[in-house]
Structure 1
């Protein structure tokens, strides 16, 4: 199963965006 570079980049950006939201929520509730 070979993922294209575009797919890897898209998944990476998506994961970073989700992590950013989680960190934002945590900081908001602190």
Structure 2
């Protein structure tokens, strides 16, 4: 397993989760 690739994947997932949380908060405020 390529360690650099793994780290980039983890970072991408964390970033995606952060965006999802932001969207969820906006939806919560809108709703």
Whether TM-score is above 0.5 comes out as yes
**Structure richer in helix, relative to its length:** 2
Give the paired residue count.
29
TM-score (normalizing by structure 2): 0.80
Q: What is the root-mean-square deviation in Å for CA atoms of aligned residues? A: 1.7
Q: Which runs of 5+ in 1 are unaligned?
A: none
Q: Which runs of 5+ in 2 are unaligned?
A: none
TM-score (normalizing by structure 1): 0.82
